Amino acid sequence: MGGMTNRDIALVGYGEVGRIFGAGLAKSGAASVRAFDVKVADAAWAEMARARAKSDGVTLMPDAASATASASLVICAVTAAKAGHAAAKIAKACRAGALVLDVNSASPGTKRASAALVESAGAHYVEAAIMNAVPPQGMRVPMLLGGPRAKEALPVLQAAGFNPSIGSEELGTVSAIKLCRSVVMKGIEALVVESLLAARRYGVEREVIASLRESYPGLDWEKLPTYVWTRVLQHGARRAEEMRESAVTVREAGLEPRMASATAELQSWFAGLRASGVFEGLAKDAAWVDMAEKIKGSDPN
C-alpha cells in the first residue's frame, strides 16, 4: 500500500462528494482518475456527468470493474444505503494490494462487513469519517481514519492531497463518532425546521427566535434558520439516509433510536417536498420564511 507508485485512482460513486474529490485528485497530479456511478445507466445523467468529468480531468466508466481494475487507490463515496453493495462490487473488481477508502456514512456494523469483503479479496480497507461539509473545503475537509490499516494509509492520503488524521485502529469506531455526532447535528436541523414552520403558522416566529437567542446567545439567530433550512432543502435525501444509518448505529449499541429515526423522517419528508416541486421558483438567496411559505396546507404525514 505504502508506495502507490502508479497513482491510478478510482471513484465508486460520482455524486457531489465524488465529483469534488475527483476534480481535486486530477489537479493533484494523479496519473489517472476514473469514476463509476450506478446512475450511469440514466442517459440524461450520464451525459451531464461525462461533461462535468471531462472538464475536471476525470474519466467516467461504464462499470465498477473498469473503473477500479488498475487503481492503487479506490475511494467509495456512495449513498449510505448502498455502501455494503458497493463494497461487494469493489471487492470483486479491484486489484490485490489496492487501498480502498470507504468514506460512506454507514454504521459500524456495515463498515466491518465491508472491510471483511475487501480484505478477503486481497485489498486493504480503511474506513473514513468525513467530519464536516465537503463543500467548500473539498479535499481538505477533516477526515478521521479507522481500522488496522489506518496508519499505513495516512501518508498515502496526505500525499494525494487529503486532510486525514488517525481516529482509531479499531474498525467501526470513527463511524460511531460521526454517526453519534449526526444525531445532534442533523437533529438540530430537524428541530429548527419543525419549530419555525409551526411558529410561522401561528405568526410567532419572531418571538420564538428572540427567545432562542436569549437562551443560546452564542448562535447567530439572524443567519442560522436560513442556513439550516437551505441545507435541509439541498441535502434532505442524503441526510435522511445518513440518519437511518445513525439509527442503525444507535440500535447496534443496544438502544432504541428514537431521535435518530424521527430526524430521518423529517429530512425525508423535506426531500419529498422538494422532489414534488414544492420549492420551485425559490430565489437562490431565499430566506427560511420564503421556504416555509411554499409549504401549504397540512402535513400529509
Please, what are the domains in the chain? 8-170 (3.40.50.720), 175-294 (1.10.1040.10)
**What pLDDT is stored for residue 5 in this prediction?**
44
Length of the chain: 301
Q: Measuring CA to CA, how many Å separate 134 from each of 17, 52, 55?
A: 7, 18, 20
Q: Measuring CA to CA, how many Å separate 238 from each of 63, 259, 280?
A: 23, 17, 19
- Is the pTM higher than 0.85? The answer reads yes
**What pLDDT is stored for residue 119 in this prediction?**
98
**What pLDDT is stored for residue 183 in this prediction?**
98
**What pLDDT is stored for residue 136 in this prediction?**
87
What gap in Å lies between CA 65 and CA 98, rounded to an integer?
A: 13
Digit-by-digit pLDDT tens for the chain (301 residues) are 544 445 899 999 999 999 999 999 999 989 999 999 999 999 999 999 999 999 999 999 999 999 999 999 999 999 989 999 999 999 999 999 999 999 999 999 999 999 999 999 999 999 999 999 999 899 999 999 999 999 999 999 999 999 999 999 999 999 999 999 999 999 999 999 999 999 999 999 999 999 999 999 999 999 999 999 999 999 999 999 999 999 999 999 999 999 999 999 999 999 999 999 999 999 999 999 999 999 987 676 5
What gap in Å lies between CA 164 and CA 141, rounded to an integer?
A: 8
For the stretch 235-240, contacts whose Cβ atoms lie closer than 8 Å and that sit 24 or more positions apart, written own/partner, are 236/267, 236/268, 236/269, 236/270, 236/271, 236/274, 237/267, 237/268, 237/271, 237/275, 238/79, 238/80, 239/186, 239/189, 239/267, 239/271, 240/264, 240/265, 240/267, 240/268, 240/271
**What pLDDT is stored for residue 96 in this prediction?**
95
